[in-house]
Amino acid sequence: MIHRKNREEERKGSACLTCEYTDGRATLCAENVFAAGVTGTTILLLLCVLGLLRAAIHSAVRVFTGEADEIAAQSHSGFCEKGIGILMKTMCSIYADNASTTQLDPDALEAMLPFMRDGFANPSALHSGAKKARHAVEDARRIISECINAKPHEIIFTSCGTESDNWAIKGVARSLDPKQAKFITCAIEHHAVLNCFDAIARTGFSTAILPVDGDGVVSVNDLEDAIKDTDSGLLSVMLANNEIGTIQDIPALADVARRHNLLVHTDAVQAVGHLPIDVNQLNIDMLSASAHKFNGPKGVGFLYKRDSVKLPPLIDGGHQESGLRAGTENVAGIVGTAVALCKHVEHLDRNMEQLRSLEKIMKTVIAEGIPEARFNGHPDRHLPGLLSLSLPGMNAEGLLHILDLKGIAVSTGAACNSKETILSHVLRAIQLPVPHASGTLRISFSKDNTESDATTLASFLVRLYHKHIG
């Protein structure tokens, strides 16, 4: 059981955050909480409209994929006979796109609500209401720091992982001489990092993009070659890849970087809440994270910055976040982030075991039914529950739409590229053959998925593959 309580247990009258678990439930003490006034009728009407729009958009896809008859037959069962079949069809029966975003944790939402109603005061103000909000932010900062073995003042709240990446990379660049410093990253980074490297390269900095092997692993030897004759700069390598799940050996890479006086940053957006994180064991200077990847709210992230690292403000303005990140704090979002991460850390071992079990089911069913299929990424060092599956001869976008019509949500490659048909830079970097790459799906389970979800999804993919390939 994890107890992350306030330093002052008797802080009277404060709407402070208390991340304490009793039977798996987070508690938040707050005053004057009132119920929301959204009616079920309004929600039902909105969902019905969305269902009608969705049906119209996908009608052509139904015919094209040959699924029309099967779907039409299903439309006469269950709730369809009661007149709200379209509504039910819009609801995902299996959500397997958790690497894209996760569902907001109910306890995180409950903890957020008081600060969206009565506890809405600006933390920077001087009255008592502001004090409550300020205490909640600082309590959340402490909880998050404990989850990654950092100090509270080393946690700086941002709007997302992308902002954290930008701040870490561009902030270091602003403090160094372009003629002397070198910035190094790898070919399968998120575009939040790769595009930052393009930006600083245009200002005169020397940059290097390290290759990866077929499993997506960065070689220490390649880093040694790239870092020669360098005595300042930054190494930025992601902890776990968001598309194929490969986990990098950050401590080993950091050792090389430190011998050449480079700072070390890791984009851990996909890893925080899903892997054990200890910033000291990782031997890093900065780490980026985003709440919506671990069942927290969207629009909130944080940057871990070691004490010794000096960064200029990315956003100029007020004194918030120790003068480093101006702008009124998103109190409710920050509170929800702390509760969500706290829950993930407490149940981390159980969640990882469950996700590995779902992986095993998927791999067993696919291997038996589609021997030609391939799972990408490192076979052992990869994020639990994240699978990059290549079905040769299939079209990933077509597969996605068919699955969508069955109420199954997955993605093709990185979620940020889901609307594009070109191969992702990650699949190109691991040199995946085109017939496999064009039929690659990313399946990402969460703690809320079941063995039935994994079996249903895998079995349907097997049937679909043989229907179209023969």
Decide if 416 is catalytic: yes
- Predicted pLDDT of residue 16: 42
Q: Is residue 247 part of a domain?
A: yes
- Predicted pLDDT of residue 469: 82
Q: Is residue 155 part of a domain?
A: yes
Residues 6 or more apart in contact with residue 403 via CB below 8 angstroms: 409, 410, 457, 460
What Å distances lie between residue 458 and 187, 361, 432, 464, CA to CA? 30, 8, 22, 10
Q: Rounded CA gap, 54 and 439, in Å?
A: 24
Q: Is residue 260 part of a domain?
A: yes
Do residues 9 and 22 make contact, with C-beta atoms less than 8 angstroms apart?
Answer: no
In order, the DSSP letters of 45-63 are HHHHHHHHHHHHHHHHHHH
- Domain identity same for 163 and 218: yes
- Predicted pLDDT of residue 51: 54
Neighbouring C-beta atoms of residue 52, cutoff 10 Å:
13
- Domain identity same for 193 and 339: yes
- Domain identity same for 132 and 214: yes
Q: Is residue 29 part of a domain?
A: no
Q: Rounded CA gap, 305 and 272, in Å?
A: 15
- Domain identity same for 85 and 97: no
* Annotated catalytic residue within 29, 48, 80, 416: 416
| Tally of structural domains, the chain | 3
- Domain identity same for 272 and 404: no
- Domain identity same for 385 and 251: no
Q: Is residue 367 part of a domain?
A: yes
Q: Is residue 428 part of a domain?
A: yes
- Domain identity same for 219 and 264: yes
Last residue of a domain, one of 327, 346, 365: 346
- Domain identity same for 132 and 198: yes
Q: Is residue 13 part of a domain?
A: no
For residue 233, what are the domain limits?
109-346
| CA 382, 385, 390, 391 torsion-angle sign | positive
C-alpha torsion 236→241→247→251, nearest 10: 10
Query: Looking at residue 424, which CATH number applies to its domain?
Result: 3.90.1150.10
Q: How many CA atoms lie within 13 A of 372 on its CB side?
A: 16
Q: Is residue 15 part of a domain?
A: no
Q: Which of 446, 422, 416, 424 is nearest to 377 (CA)?
A: 424
Last residue of a domain, one of 346, 362, 390: 346
Strand, helix or coil for residue 249 = coil
- Domain identity same for 250 and 148: yes
Query: Looking at residue 222, which CATH number applies to its domain?
Result: 3.40.640.10
- Domain identity same for 189 and 151: yes
Residue with tokens 């439930």: 25
Q: What is the mean pLDDT of each run of 10 residues along the chain (470 residues)?
A: 42 43 39 35 48 48 40 36 38 88 97 93 84 94 98 97 97 93 97 97 96 98 93 96 98 97 98 98 98 98 96 87 86 98 98 98 97 96 97 92 95 56 88 93 97 97 90
